[in-house]
Amino acid sequence: MYNTNKIAVTGLGIVCSLGNTITDFWNALLNDSSGIKNWEDLKHLDFKYIHASRVENIECDPLQRGFQFAVSAIEQAIKQSGCSNTEKWGLFLGTTMGESAAFEAIAEKNQTLIPEAYTGFGICKRLMKKYPAMHKFQCFATACAAGNYALKAGMDALQKGEISIAIVGGVDPFSKIAMCGFSRSRAMSPSGICKPFDTNRDGMILGEGAGFLVLEKAENATKRKANILAVLDDCALSCDAYHPTAPKPDSSGIINCFQQLLETNNLKHSEIDWISAHGTGTKLSDQSEAHAIAKVFDTHPPYVSSIKPKIGHTLGAATAIEAIVSVLSIQHQTIPHTLNYTNAEFDIRIPKKPVLTKVNKD
């Protein structure tokens, strides 16, 4: 029997360019396919960069694309979990842009749209109406860390007994506003090839998608005979607030997170099998992340891989999808590779092909 503080993952759901089911997504993740391509609409609009990772095979109202992505992913996660709508649910959602297409329409003088209805808050309100079992929600707009903030908040609410089921995750539809912003900040890849941690990396590529997980107390999941996919021991968050677009050069924010988790859970460095990295493909972010990993795990380096060469940077959904990949890696005892990784710059273990190996469940 699990102790009262352990949190179980019992359901997963995803929408992204690699697939709109967990099975399709995982299968595509393990081969050399990528959802990144050039887009004629971006070329027609005279964008400087026209490569992106977008979802093609899903019908969506353009102004509610994020909401519909979220519903699709949540439905998958609920079905797999088998949780009852008579239980007390909580929704914890991360997003960077909300319904970006609506704000783009407002900027083009569409006066009939109410901005508040298309924020992350607005998406949450729609989801609350669709799922009466949801008794509370929290929305996080903490950029690409938003999915992790949602995960942490869901864990806390479960441990405090405020809810019995936590629906946690992140969502962001493709955003032309974000595309412009990243382009102007010179973060985008001119080559159209995302190469995290590679010597020749030249930037990120924008994506879109949604990823959601069902969390519950492990002891409750055991009692109702749910299939426990993985167990969450803890979640650490840190912010160095060094610069709007650059991490602190000494990597102290990332190092602090690693050390919190290791010390709080009394873990040995050798017990960490794999790190699902942020791995954006930008010069400074990859450098900071790699240096932190190399410093903390200097004697027992784990595998490190990034999925962004396959699905792009999905903004508020990024860390939620990365959490899903971590659970799938445990389920299949397989570590996904980092596509386009050729030339090593950092002293970290980056697989060029999927690795069949032990990955701890908790």
Q: Is the pLDDT of residue 112 over 90?
A: no
Q: What is the pLDDT of residue 4?
A: 60
The rounded Cα 149 to chain-centroid distance in angstroms is 11
* Mode of pairing for the β-strands spanning 165-172 and 89-94: parallel
Average pLDDT over every residue of 201-228: 97
Which tens digit of pLDDT belongs to each residue from 123-139? Answer: 999 999 999 999 999 99
104-115 in b/e form (b: 16+ CB < 10 A) is bbeeeeeeeeee
Q: Is the pLDDT of residue 159 over 90?
A: yes
CB neighbour list of residue 156: distance below 8 Å, 6 or more residues apart = none
The secondary element (H helix, E strand) that includes residue 171 is strand 165-172
Question: Is the separation of the CB atoms in 209 and 311 below 8 Å?
Answer: yes
Closest by alpha carbon to 285, among 253, 328, 238, 321? Answer: 253
Closest by alpha carbon to 189, among 61, 301, 36? Answer: 36
Quote the tokens at residue 335. 């570590």
Q: What is the pLDDT of residue 240?
A: 80
Q: Is 14 helix (H, G, I), strand (E, B) or coil?
A: strand
Which tens digit of pLDDT belongs to each residue from 228-280? Answer: 999 998 888 888 888 887 888 899 999 999 999 899 888 899 999 999 999 99
Q: What is the pLDDT of residue 241?
A: 83
**Which DSSP symbol is given to 151?**
H
Q: What is the pLDDT of residue 59?
A: 84
Q: Is the pLDDT of residue 149 over 60?
A: yes
DSSP string, 91-131: EEEE-SSSSHHHHHHHHTT-TT--GGGGSHHHHHHHHHHH-
Q: Is the pLDDT of residue 307 over 70?
A: yes
Q: What is the pLDDT of residue 246?
A: 82
CB neighbour list of residue 234: distance below 8 Å, 6 or more residues apart = 260, 261, 264, 265
Q: Which residues pair with 304 in a beta bridge?
A: 275
Residue whose structure tokens are 């519903």: 71
Q: What is the percent of the chain where pLDDT is above 70?
A: 98
Residue 110 banded pLDDT, cuts 50, 70, 90: confident
Closest by alpha carbon to 155, among 232, 237, 219? Answer: 232
- pLDDT averaged over the chain? 94
Q: What is the pLDDT of residue 203?
A: 97
Q: What is the percent of the chain where pLDDT is above 90?
A: 85
Which tens digit of pLDDT belongs to each residue from 49-59? Answer: 999 999 998 88
The C-alpha atoms of residue 42 and residue 48 are separated, in whole angstroms, by 8
Ranges of H-type helices in 297-337:
308-311, 318-332
Which tens digit of pLDDT belongs to each residue from 2-26? Answer: 556 799 999 999 999 999 999 999 9
Question: Is the separation of the CB atoms in 234 and 156 below 8 Å?
Answer: no
